[in-house]
Structure 1
């Protein structure tokens, strides 16, 4: 037996990047997965790492019941690794923190104040949905893409791809925006001009952009038959025999 000392103990404090995910394995054993956004200093700049964590049994139930996206958490645990091979035979390795202890990193009052501020911030923003439609049938079209600009011309998002449910962007500050189509649904003519959208707090602004089918190019006229003359002494019959 080796006498070397081995230590595997990690302490992290960060906010959950999303709501924890609770599952049950082997029928009734709870396991909870979540990620912590943890800040660190590198060359005088702050960087953020997103650390996957896993909790089992009672700790899993505790995290699932009391923690949510944005909660500041303190985790004490061990670094574990998993190795697996994909369908092509390539090996992959993943690291995660096996939680031994989990506790809140903020008081209940701090958490409630933060959640209230988050809700107020969300209420001050709106969302935008852009739908490309067939001008005659009203059918939703896919394949369109758009650039979105603020009223002063500052780009917000470029090349927003539209699907059958349209292009959708959330969390926009209230104000005026300009939509410019940069890709057109197949077999349709491009939109005639840019469109203005007014975003209001807490509302979903829906912009419908009609498209007409693109006329097929006119068929090319057949080239005229080449004119020719029969040389003297040649008869225009099947044998073309000399006279």
Structure 2
């Protein structure tokens, strides 16, 4: 079986990084990815894809990417479920990134901080 995803899109917000109980960094990002065709109204639709990035890639993504950054993600689709506070089963489908490639320059605020 093959479960491989390749996406290129813009971050919809700054990466959110947290650490597991074991100390492993994980960053959550959402990519805005334009579709390759136009809808009935002649507009291009956009999909918003949630991604999880782990370990060193998570730290690098959180340090060097901001809202609007263009990134390429390769990974796999994963589904999971959990029970929320209202005791309702919630199902989540996301991309777990194997690698993240930064495709735009450093965000302006990072360049200004280094100066």
> CA separation in 1, counterparts of 2:38 and 2:25?
37
Tell me which of 17, 27, 30 is aligned to 1:32. 27
Residue 15 of structure 2 corresponds to residue 17 of structure 1:
no
Tell me which of 92, 101, 104 is aligned to 1:103. 101
| TM-score normalised by the chain length of structure 1 | 0.40
State the partner residue of 2:113. none
Tell me which of 55, 65, 68 is aligned to 2:63. 65
> CA separation in 1, counterparts of 2:72 and 2:28?
15
**1:98 aligned counterpart, secondary structure:** strand
Alpha carbons of 1:73 and 1:7: their partners in 2 closer, same or farther (altered >3 Å)? same
Higher strand proportion (structure 1 or 2): 2
**1:70 aligned counterpart, secondary structure:** coil
Q: How many Å apart are 1:105 and its aligned residue?
A: 2.1
Higher alpha-carbon Rg? 1
State the partner residue of 1:78. 76
Q: How much is the aligned-residue C-alpha RMSD, in angstroms?
A: 2.0
Aligned positions, number: 106
> CA separation in 2, counterparts of 1:50 and 1:24?
24
Higher helix proportion (structure 1 or 2): 2
Q: How many Å apart are 1:45 and its aligned residue?
A: 2.8
Cα deviations by residue, 1:74-118 (Å, 9 ceiling, x for unpaired): 001100111123355432211111001110223x3xx56xx59xx
Residue 2 of structure 2 corresponds to residue 7 of structure 1:
yes
| TM-score normalised by the chain length of structure 2 | 0.81
More relative contact order, 1 or 2 (CA 8 Å, 6+ apart): 2
Runs of 5+ consecutive residues of structure 1 not aligned to the other structure: 1-5, 117-243
Q: How many Å apart are 1:21 and its aligned residue?
A: 0.7
> CA separation in 2, counterparts of 1:66 and 1:28?
21
Runs of 5+ consecutive residues of structure 2 not aligned to the other structure: 110-115
